[in-house]
């Protein structure tokens, strides 16, 4: 019955007048910055918001679960892969419109592209986003931030659909922004557009600030290795990276997963499995709790199924 529903969804999507990319059984390791994760039953890459709504509506009617994927930069997919439909937003939906101090961006636009577009238009407030490796949709969904800035400071409206294909539109207050969290994370809604209101700035100064942020990021973070960014949220008691470092865990590895020797807040993939990475996360949490009395909470989003025992 499940396979028949997948086949029916593919049939309905391909019957439409416009092309839509559909892949069956592709490994999620291809679509995450950690380069980990087993196969997804179906990956659909829409080109327009109307196609997004169609996928959600049809999948809901057929009883198929839908997982939203941006650039995969804050995501760990388990070795058994994902059952259901992965709706990949970053391939085509990357439009950015600027009018005065207002920017309206599609969810698939990269944060770095948005930051550069704002600076080029002499609009301030988005330089912090220049080195964040995710999409506008993903960054807004989790209220991403860096160097003292975060999305909640500049977002004015968020539009999209719920998992049945019904549209929604939230203003800043309705989004209920908090540290690395918005109401969308509790409601399972998908973003198609984000609107920003930005103050005027000086283009040269904004570009120079972005260069400085990216230089500092490259000096401190393992950007040339596979990671999902900061693995753990910043605890109220201090900084996760400092605690991990003070516990002597820099360089500690389980299988092909390792605590970065350059930045203890980053766990990196050096040719391991998602199971290695999860085991390392659990070990770090346990040691930090034993030594510091603080239970670190994952910032990375964990999805999918464990690999069958015989395949491990």
Catalytic residue annotation: 180, 230, 299
Residue showing tokens 């839908």: 66
Task: Kindly list the distances between the CA atom of residue 278 and the CA atoms of 206, 235, 301, in Å, as whole numbers in the listed order.
Answer: 39, 19, 11
Q: How far apart are the first and last CA of the chain?
A: 28
- And the tokens for 23? 């892949």
Strand partners, 75: 301
**Interatomic CA distance for residues 186 and 138, integer angstroms:** 14
Name residues whose C-beta falls within 8 Å of residue 276's C-beta, 6 or more positions apart in sequence: 254, 255, 256, 257
Count of all residues that appear for the chain in the document: 312
Task: Kindly list the distances between the CA atom of residue 201 and the CA atoms of 120, 125, 143, 204, in Å, as whole numbers in the listed order.
Answer: 10, 9, 23, 9
CB count in 10 Å sphere of residue 142: 21
**Interatomic CA distance for residues 28 and 80, integer angstroms:** 10
**Interatomic CA distance for residues 203 and 123, integer angstroms:** 7
Name residues whose C-beta falls within 8 Å of residue 178's C-beta, 6 or more positions apart in sequence: 143
Confirm if 222 and 144 have CB atoms less than 8 A apart: no
Sheet holding 155-162, edge to edge: 96-99, 102-106, 189-197, 155-162, 167-171
Consecutive H or E run containing 83: strand 82-88
Single out the residue of 310, 304, 225 nearest to residue 271, CA to CA.
225
């Amino acid at each position: 019955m499940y396979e028949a529903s997948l086949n029916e969804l593919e049939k309905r999507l391909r019957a439409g007048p416009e092309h839509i990319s559909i892949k069956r059984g592709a490994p999620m390791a291809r679509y995450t910055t950690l380069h980990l994760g087993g196969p997804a039953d179906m990956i659909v890459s829409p080109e327009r918001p109307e196609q997004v709504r169609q996928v959600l509506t049809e999948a809901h009617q057929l009883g198929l679960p839908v997982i939203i994927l941006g650039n995969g930069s804050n995501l760990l997919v388990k070795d058994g892969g994902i059952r259901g439909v992965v709706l990949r937003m970053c391939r085509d939906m990357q439009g950015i419109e600027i009018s005065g101090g207002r920017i309206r961006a599609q969810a698939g636009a990269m944060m770095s592209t948005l930051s550069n577009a704002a600076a080029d238009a002499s609009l301030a407030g988005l330089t912090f986003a220049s080195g964040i490796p995710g999409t506008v949709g993903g960054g807004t969904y989790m209220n991403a931030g860096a160097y003292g800035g975060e999305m909640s400071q500049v977002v004015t409206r968020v539009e999209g659909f719920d998992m049945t294909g019904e549209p929604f539109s939230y203003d800043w207050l309705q989004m209920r922004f908090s540290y690395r969290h918005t109401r969308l994370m509790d409601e399972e809604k998908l973003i198609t557009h984000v609107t920003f209101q930005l103050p005027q700035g000086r283009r040269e100064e904004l570009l120079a600030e972005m260069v400085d942020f990216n230089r500092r990021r490259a000096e401190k973070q393992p950007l040339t290795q596979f990671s999902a960014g900061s693995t753990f949220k910043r605890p109220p008691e201090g900084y996760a990276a400092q605690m991990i470092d003070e516990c002597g865990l820099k360089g500690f590895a389980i299988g092909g997963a390792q605590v970065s020797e350059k930045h203890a807040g980053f766990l990196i993939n050096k040719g391991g499995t998602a199971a290695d990475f999860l085991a390392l996360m659990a070990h770090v949490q346990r040691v930090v709790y034993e030594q510091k009395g603080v239970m670190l909470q994952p910032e990375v989003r964990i999805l999918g199924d464990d690999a069958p025992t015989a395949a491990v």
